[in-house]
């Protein structure tokens, strides 16, 4: 039984950003409710309360339910079968009744809408889109903000740049969805709704998506998917078996490395998040295969979640129940890949890892302190390592900015630790300069081991604060370098 709002009047549900703020990490129960034309048609067992309870216990507080409707509907009347609607509602309730957030969509569904953003299908598909969403929305009309609807999935006629026709028709499907749900009233009048970019591609969305009009402000989210680089994440014959700077060789995986992720996610943030429109990455993941580096895969999952968190994006891991993707045993709910789950949670962890205060910062390899050379307080004064002597040029004030991102300020100068010129290149110098809030002056802090930490500039989240050449000498320069996990990239943050 779902929780219903008491009384005849419906309260206005909170804005989309408030809803997004409550989502920590999400998980897809893929290849199940969208299987044609039976929940078990693609080999997964029926979804149970035990499975969803296990998902929540593992740390996920949101679930995306891909669902098919067309082959469960009378094609003459476009009426969804009552037994199927009741089953979808039961699965939603498995999560909703334990305080999870639920994203319910129309998924591939035989491709009737998803594969036809074409003028020749536009009228008929919009009629069916309207009729199906009216029925779905009425079923969940009384549910609170923890139920979100996503109008489509990966609508495309090709995987390349959409034509004007493709874009126009795909966006008409988004508009019909919004209009149909709003027309049902009740909590649906203010429910958060999710609309998709063309083929849920980030760059296509940045370039081409126009948000639908809505009868209420601030109740829409955007959905994108992320599977770059394909020959690492999805291609079963892909020659790329390692990803990320700590895990060479990368010759077969020559694109979509950390700097690509940083740049693309920052563009998504600039396009929507900074303008009050939350974004979900409705699908991402890596299919494990023979010869693949498992630590590299975990690094990828952690990195994607960290980059998403820094840029305000919410993630939903794609789990289709098969061994390559599975985090859980679909039959009994048991966790089958704690390494992947822990990596996701590390990347998404919004907690404050270091309390606000003043500290000395000590390099693991040399036991020497982060130091402003010569006690200089000028703009651009250089940062080095030096034996700790307790001077204010070796003491740093840490101020938490949220999501384990920190401003680090020299006590002597009042100036911020920064990567010079916002460069993402290896060897870019680290110095001090008046704080402006730029990403090269904001640092992500994450635990490594043994009480040491990695300090990562937000401007280059594949990099780390690094002592050049692994030198132990006084005066050795401190700069930015791609994260390798070396002891010269790990720091103790201690009371001075």
Distance of alpha carbon 369 from alpha carbon 242, whole angstroms: 34
Q: Give me the half-sphere count of Cα atoms (radius 13 Å) on the Cβ side of residue 30.
A: 21
Assign 3-class secondary structure to 38-58: CCCCCCCCCCCHHHHHHHHHC
The DSSP 8-state label assigned to residue 153 in this structure reads: S
End-to-end CA distance of the chain: 56
Q: Say how far apart CA 228 and CA 261 lie, in whole Å.
A: 9
Classify residue 185 as left (phi > 0), alpha (psi -120 to 50) or beta: left
Run of H or E residues at 455:
strand 453-457
What is the token pair recorded at 193?
């709704």
Q: What is the largest CA-CA distance in the chain?
A: 82
Count other Cβ atoms within 10 Å, centred on residue 269. 17
CB atoms within 10 A of CB 281: 23
Name 488's bridge partners: none
Q: How many CB atoms lie within 10 A of CB 345?
A: 17
Closest to 105 (Cα-Cα) out of 3, 11, 32: 32
Taken as a whole, the chain contains a residue count of: 496
> Which one from 39, 114, 258, 283 is the annotated catalytic residue?
283
Q: In sequence order, what DSSP letters do the residues of 412-443 get, joined into one string?
A: TT-PEEEEGGG--STT-BEEEE-----GGG-E
Catalytic residue among 34, 39, 154, 223: 154
Q: Tell me which H or E stretch contains 281.
A: strand 279-284
Chain centre to alpha carbon of residue 467? 31
Please say whether the beta carbons of 459 and 422 come within 8 A.
yes
Q: Is 114 a catalytic residue?
A: no
In angstroms, rounded to a whole number, what is the distance separating the alpha carbons of residues 203 and 197?
Answer: 9
Peptide bond into 229 cis (omega under 30): yes
- Does the active-site annotation cover 283? yes
Dihedral sign (CA 183, 32, 13, 21): negative
The catalytic residue positions are 154, 283
């Amino acid at each position: 039984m779902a929780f219903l709002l008491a009384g005849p009047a419906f309260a206005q549900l909170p804005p989309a950003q408030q809803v997004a703020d409550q989502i920590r990490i999400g998980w897809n129960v893929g290849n199940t409710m969208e299987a044609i034309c039976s929940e078990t048609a693609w080999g997964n067992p029926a979804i149970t309360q035990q499975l969803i309870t296990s998902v929540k216990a593992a740390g996920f507080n949101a679930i995306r339910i891909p669902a098919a409707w067309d082959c469960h509907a009378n094609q003459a009347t476009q009426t969804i079968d009552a037994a199927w609607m009741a089953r979808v509602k039961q699965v939603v309730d498995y999560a909703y009744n334990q305080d999870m957030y639920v994203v319910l969509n129309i998924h591939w569904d035989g491709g009737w809408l998803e594969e036809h953003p074409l003028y020749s299908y536009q009228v008929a598909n919009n009629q069916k889109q309207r009729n199906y969403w009216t029925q779905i929305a009425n079923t969940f009309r009384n549910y609170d903000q923890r139920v979100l609807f996503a109008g489509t999935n990966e609508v495309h006629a090709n995987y390349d740049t959409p034509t004007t026709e493709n874009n126009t028709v795909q966006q008409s499907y988004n508009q019909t969805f919004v209009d149909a749900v709003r027309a049902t009233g009740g909590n649906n009048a203010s429910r958060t709704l999710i609309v998709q970019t063309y083929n849920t591609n980030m760059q296509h969305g940045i370039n081409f998506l126009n948000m639908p009009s809505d009868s209420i402000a601030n109740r829409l989210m955007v959905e994108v998917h992320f599977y770059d680089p394909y020959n690492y994440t999805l291609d079963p014959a892909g020659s790329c078996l390692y990803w990320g700077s700590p895990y060479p060789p990368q010759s077969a995986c020559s694109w979509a490395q950390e700097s690509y992720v940083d740049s693309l996610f920052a563009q998504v943030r600039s396009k929507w998040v900074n303008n009050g429109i939350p974004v979900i990455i409705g699908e991402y993941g890596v299919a494990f295969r023979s010869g693949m580096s498992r630590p590299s895969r975990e690094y990828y999952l952690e990195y994607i979640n960290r980059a998403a968190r820094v840029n305000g994006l919410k993630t939903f891991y794609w789990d289709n129940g098969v061994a390559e993707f599975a985090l859980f045993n679909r039959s009994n709910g048991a966790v089958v890949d704690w390494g992947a789950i822990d990596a996701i949670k590390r990347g998404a962890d919004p907690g404050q890892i270091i309390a606000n205060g003043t500290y000395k910062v000590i390099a693991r390899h040399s036991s020497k302190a982060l130091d402003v050379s010569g006690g200089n307080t000028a703009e651009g004064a250089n940062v080095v390592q030096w034996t700790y002597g307790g001077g204010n040029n070796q003491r740093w004030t840490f101020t938490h900015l949220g999501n384990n991102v920190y401003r680090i300020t020299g006590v002597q100068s009042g100036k911020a630790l920064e990567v010079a010129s916002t460069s993402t290149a290896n060897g870019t110098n680290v110095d001090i300069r008046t704080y402006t809030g730029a990403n090269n002056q904001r640092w992500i802090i994450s635990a490594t081991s043994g009480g040491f930490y990695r300090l990562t500039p937000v401007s280059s989240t594949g990099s780390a604060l690094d002592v050049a050449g692994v030198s132990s000498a006084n005066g050795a320069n401190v700069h930015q370098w791609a994260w390798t996990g070396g002891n010269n990239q790990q720091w103790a943050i201690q009371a001075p």
